[in-house]
Amino acid sequence: MREQLQLSRAKYSATAAARMITSRAMTAIPIISDARALAQFVAALGCRDGWVSVDTEFLRERTFTPKLCLVQLTDGAQSACVDPLAVQDLSPLGELLADRSRRKIFHSCRQDLEAIDTRLDARAAGLYDTQLAAAFCGHGAQTSYAALVEALCDVRLPKAHTRADWSRRPLPRAELEYALDDIKYLQPLRAILDREMASKGYAEWHREECEYAARPSQYRADPATAWRRIKGVAKLDATGQSCAQLLAAWRERRALQSDRPRNWILPGAVLLTLCRKRPTQLSSLSKIKHIAPGLVKKSGAQILDLIAQGKRNAPPLAPLPPLNAEQRGQVKRILSRIAEVSEQTGISQTLIASRPEVEDFTRAVNHTDGAPGTDGTRLLQGWRRQLIGEEILTRVL
């Protein structure tokens, strides 16, 4: 059994957590709705110990980019909800994110940074992610904030407002309180997880992982690499993958320009079918299963042109080639060893490496034509190389 957080089983109680933020039962919840108030509030944050907790609420069900609707901030002594629909100049928030002297605590930072980045440059220095910390401490790589609060703070958070419309104004008090709960326990979680990581020597590894998570490439859409995220693309032949690169980049740009979900532009399954069948006429394009007639009418000629380009530019070998039997065996052995190391160290297996990452690593170390070099594989970088990467190269392959 994987060792669980002990810390004398001194779970952070609800009473102790309440001391960090004054009870809101009978007090007004601070809502910042103008630039001057935001600048004044942000300037005072983190003066006590240099830690600031951050969370956001956003909507994106019908858009490609998230619509930032609320930003919650606290340093334990003072808390507020920032209304980005009212505050046009969010630059003080950007200055806070860029200030390395004030550490920013997030839980699963990628979507928060992506939402903030729609309004300003969200480059964050001194970021601390509690979800990543939990993955180093015996929890799953995708442990939710609510699950972690319940496990470590012995507090069960309400779920009544998980699907609230955060764009409506005014927001009901209950929803604002729910939003503040999302930052209320970040500092207690950080303190507990820090002690555990320090006891195991993982603190610097976590810092390294947080710096990687804060890179803009982790939350900004890149049309050039969009094709690699399509499930099933590695099963296409070289020509099909060439077409997929062009069609996925086109879809990504269209989604960004129209601010509509990428699957509303062209569903992934339809895109794969186009790359397999590679139609040359509008009549054959219109017969592709599940393709929208409106898409054929408005963009059919452009889609056919992209497919033709993909066929002309196809390399001799697929950029993402299928694994042969020997390589599949290597993947199996690597994943088995990663599972053993995860069990021994308490570090989440998925955090160490996912199956797609192991497959890419296998392509790289076997010098498969078209595959990226080993310099780009995370298993041979930083803490992963120290933990298991060198061992895989010398003993597992």
Write the CATH number for 240: 1.10.150.80
* pLDDT score at 397: 73
Q: Can you tell me the mean pLDDT for 237-247?
A: 97
**361 belongs to a structural domain:** yes
In a domain, 253, yes or no: yes
The verdict on residue 17 lying in a domain is yes
Residues 199 and 147 in one domain: yes
Residue 259, domain extent: 223-313
Residue pLDDT, tens place only, 93-106: 999 999 999 999 99
Omega before 158 within 30 of 0, i.e. cis: no
More confident residue, 227 or 21: 227
Number of domains in the chain: 3
Domain boundary residue among 278, 313, 348?
313
**CA 103 – CA 132 distance, rounded (Å):** 15
Same-domain check for residues 179 and 299: no
Q: Are residues 106 and 69 in the same domain?
A: yes
pLDDT of residue 396: 77
Tokens found for residue 397: 């392959």
What pTM does this model have? 0.90
10 pLDDT more than 90: no
pLDDT at 368 over 60: no
Mean pLDDT of the chain: 91
Euclidean distance between CA atoms 278 and 244, whole angstroms:
10
Cα separation of 259 and 63, whole Å? Answer: 5
**Which pLDDT value is given to residue 12?**
40
Q: Tokens standing for 87?
A: 């505050």
- 356 & 242 share domain: no
Name 345's Cβ contacts closer than 8 Å, sequence gap at least 6. 200, 387
- Tens of pLDDT, residue by residue over 257-284, are 999 999 999 999 999 999 999 999 999 9
Alpha helices in the chain (DSSP H): 14-20, 35-44, 91-98, 109-117, 130-135, 145-153, 173-184, 186-200, 203-213, 238-258, 262-265, 268-277, 282-285, 293-313, 325-345, 349-352, 355-365, 382-384, 390-391
Contact 382, 207 (CB under 8 A): no
The answer to the question of residue 22 being in a domain is yes
Nearest to 191 by CA among 147, 154, 152, 156: 152
Q: Average pLDDT in the 126-136 region?
A: 98
Query: Are residues 207 and 254 located together in one domain of the fold?
Result: no
Q: At what angle do helices 203-213 and 186-200 cross, to 10 degrees?
A: 130
Q: Which two tokens stand for residue 144?
A: 């939710």
